Amino acid sequence: MKNLLIKNAVIVNRDGRQTGDLLVRDGLIEAIGEGLPAEGCEVIDARGAYLLPGLVDLHCHLRDPGYEYKEDIFSGTRAAAAGGFTSVLCMANTKPVNDCAAITRYIVEKAQAAGYCKVYPYGAVTKGLEGKELAEMGDMREAGAVAFSDDGAPVDNTRLMEAALLYAGRFDGYIAVHPEDRSLTADGVMNRGVTATVLGLPGISRAAEEGPIARDLILAEENRARVHICHISTAGCVDLIRSAKARGVRVTCETTPHYLTLDDTACEGYDVNAKVAPPLRTPADQEALIQGLLDGTIDAIATDHAPHHIDDKVGEFLTAAKGISGFETAFASCYTRLVKGGFLTLEQLVEKMCWNPARIANIPGGELKAGAIADMFLADGEDWTVDAQRFYSKGRNTPLDGKTLSGRVLMTFQDGRIVHQREEF
């Protein structure tokens, strides 16, 4: 493994920034300072670019095994690295479902062979995601699962959810909840509101998301269990979680770049690439989500990277698959909307996309300091145009295609090794 010296960088952590050099030896950060010796090192002149901890994604779909025509671990982790991610947590809704140790090991070993970023699987809560019987969480934990989720299919049975929360707590795990009342979502395809009415499309109410969150917060509170709420999209979700945290409930939560940067008007023109679950909401919901980030109610920003083959997205809005391919636009979307928009500092964005996710998942990463793993990326604040056809991901399904964003990922490093480099850098 080569030693590495990155010079003239603006080194950003959640608690501040400094301009200087960063020295990597044997995959670990050895020193941060000015005028560090370059002898025996590969030297990279950062030219004043930001050097940030590698992004940690609490929620993505790599589709492998079983749906490799949508994405596979190689293409997915390469796309993640291109987006500045060095660690990702992938959901269990594969085929077969990741509900046993053998599938968990397959995912871990294939990701290690790919080598683009670290992959930490979610094990399924229930066998086959059917919501009828708990999966073998202990076996999956030993095989490499860091937490458990039936994301894509909610655990409707309240008694079974309570049992899952208690069981996961035995080995300090947690349940990541997909909040959805399927009796309320029914045939809905977008947010219930003015835009849905104008488009003549069936809507999905906020209650379909907020009701299940209320249930799971009550269960977590009563059983003193850890629960993580996935991809929240409404002001009501923020209020529920804020209140629960004030009562001492052991809850964390995430939102995504698309809920922070897009609203339901993105569906105008019947743009199937804006169809996602939960649906894009309203500007008022966006404002509440941003306030939740600022006051600590929302702990993390995750991608919910959900790549689809073009055949799954073409055709009518009613039948198109739900999901957005998000790895390669996540940092730039958040930098453009939140940092350049004046809502968050870059340090606060590092907290939400690096430090907090690593702490929630109890995995290494999230900071740049002596002795830490050299998982990091270089970025600048320059404008660039999204071209979905150049994505490393197989999923080109993004409503941002052709849009101009700020914040380019220039290079990504895993354990001090270059795993992605922008062509012109």
Residues tagged active-site = 304
Tell whether 157 is in a known binding site. no
Note if the bond before 257 is cis, omega within 30 degrees. Answer: no
d(CA 251, CA 165): 12
Tell whether 63 is in a known binding site. yes
Q: Residues 144, 120: contact at Cβ < 8 Å? A: yes
Q: Which two tokens stand for residue 375?
A: 């998982």
Q: Residues 44, 6: contact at Cβ < 8 Å? A: yes
Tell whether 93 is in a known binding site. yes
Tell whether 420 is in a known binding site. no
- Alpha helix ranges (H) inside 26-145: 73-82, 101-114, 137-143
d(CA 185, CA 191): 10
Tell whether 178 is in a known binding site. yes
Q: Residues 57, 80: contact at Cβ < 8 Å? A: yes
Please give the C-alpha separations between residue 289 and each of 175, 275, 297, 342, 392, in angstroms, as whole numbers: 22, 19, 9, 15, 29
Q: Residues 420, 409: contact at Cβ < 8 Å? A: yes
Tell whether 62 is in a known binding site. yes
d(CA 81, CA 378): 11
Tell whether 305 is in a known binding site. no
- Binding site listing: 59, 61-63, 93, 151, 178, 231, 304, 308
- Binding site listing for Zn(2+): 59, 61, 151, 178, 231, 304
- Binding site listing for substrate: 61-63, 93, 308
